């Protein structure tokens, strides 16, 4: 199957899904979400695929939601794009977790917002030395989605997750490794080969045991994840009805500091 917003390659038991909207830093919109959903389902069903790599084309892994697209709804219903897009994001997150195969995030650049969540949902995270992470939601008057509010506290602890959510600082690759957010950091030039090497090793491993082990780990949190995804979706829709959200998006697009009023 051909995709408009990503590239899917299968070779030697490894499927590589490359998000392919480089001009917008692979920002997440409805069409990309639809392609990602279909490609993940394809990989899950294909018996020849034993491991999956998720990465981005160009300078970013996935910079988050397509903010320019969100603004188009300001004159009608600012919450509407979230009703559409988050459904696709949530399906992708659940599919990654339920897939009985290891999924590796090869974080090649900026991972923000929904991109941060996608990376966190994967089983392993291999990070380029130049990669950065930012939750990004609160700086435009929004809240976390895609399981961010579950995965990140599980990975780095509640206190650090609150720090990221409230202060919205940028985390570089070194700090991401120190905090336990990523499993390994490599030179930029080595990211693709390292991810492929790990994926090939996994593809030749005990596939049934991997599937059972992943299922067991999922068992402890899948109920929580499904509830959290729905809670986050409702929260995003609610936050999209605030004046601070409108101001946050306008400030981002105008490249200025936001002037929030708490309304």
User: What is the pLDDT, as a whole number, of residue 69?
Assistant: 84
Angle between helices 114-121 and 80-98 (to 10 degrees): 20
Alpha helices by DSSP H, listed for the chain, are 30-45, 67-71, 80-98, 114-121, 148-156, 158-167, 173-179, 191-203, 207-219, 222-239, 243-253
**The pairing of beta strand 6-11 with beta strand 14-19:** antiparallel
- Longest Cα–Cα distance of the chain, Å, equals 55
User: What is the pLDDT, as a whole number, of residue 135?
Assistant: 96
3-class SS of residue 18:
strand
| Segments making up each domain of the chain, as ranges | 6-191
CB contact at 8 A, 180 and 155 = yes
> Distance (Å, rounded) from C-alpha 182 to C-alpha 13?
24
- Say whether pLDDT at 1 is over 80: no
Fold exhibited by the domain 6-191? 2-enoyl-CoA Hydratase; Chain A, domain 1 (3.90.226)
CB contact at 8 A, 117 and 146 = yes
What pLDDT, in 10s, does the model give residues 154-169?
Answer: 999 999 999 999 999 9
Work out the pLDDT band at 73, boundaries 50, 70, 90.
Answer: confident
Q: What percent of the chain has pLDDT over 90?
A: 85
What pLDDT, in 10s, does the model give residues 207-250?
Answer: 999 999 999 999 988 989 999 999 999 999 899 999 999 999 99
User: What is the pLDDT, as a whole number, of residue 95?
Assistant: 97
Q: What are phi and psi of 6, to 5 degrees?
A: -155, 165
- Say whether pLDDT at 112 is over 90: yes
Work out the pLDDT band at 185, boundaries 50, 70, 90.
Answer: very high
> Mean of the per-residue pLDDT values for the chain?
95
What pLDDT, in 10s, does the model give residues 12-70?
Answer: 999 999 999 999 999 999 999 999 999 999 999 999 999 999 999 999 999 999 888 88
Work out the pLDDT band at 81, boundaries 50, 70, 90.
Answer: confident
């Amino acid at each position: 199957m051909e995709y408009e917003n990503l590239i899917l390659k299968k070779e030697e038991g490894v499927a590589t899904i490359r998000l392919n909207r480089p001009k917008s830093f692979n920002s997440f919109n409805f069409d990309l979400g639809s392609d990602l959903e279909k490609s993940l389902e394809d990989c899950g069903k294909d018996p020849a695929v034993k491991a999956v790599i998720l990465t981005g084309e160009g300078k970013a892994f996935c910079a988050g939601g397509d903010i320019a697209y969100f603004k188009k709804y300001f004159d009608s219903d600012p919450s509407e794009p979230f009703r559409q897009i988050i459904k696709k994001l949530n399906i992708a997150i659940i599919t990654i977790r339920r897939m009985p195969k290891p999924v590796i995030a090869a974080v090649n650049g900026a991972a923000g917002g929904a991109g941060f969540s996608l990376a966190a949902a994967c089983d392993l995270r291999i990070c380029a030395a130049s990669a950065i992470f930012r939750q990004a939601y609160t700086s435009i008057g929004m809240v976390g989605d895609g399981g961010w509010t579950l995965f990140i506290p599980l990975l780095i602890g509640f206190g650090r997750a609150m720090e990221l959510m409230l202060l919205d600082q940028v985390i570089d690759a070194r700090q991401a490794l120190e905090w336990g957010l990523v499993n390994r950091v490599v030179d930029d030039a080595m990211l693709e080969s390292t991810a492929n090497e790990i994926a090939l090793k996994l593809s030749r491993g005990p596939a049934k045991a991997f599937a059972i082990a992943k299922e067991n780990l999922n068992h402890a949190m899948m109920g929580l994840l499904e509830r959290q995804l729905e809670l986050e979706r409702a929260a995003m829709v609610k936050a999209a009805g605030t004046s601070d959200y409108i101001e946050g998006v306008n400030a981002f697009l105008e490249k200025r500091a936001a002037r929030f009023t708490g309304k």
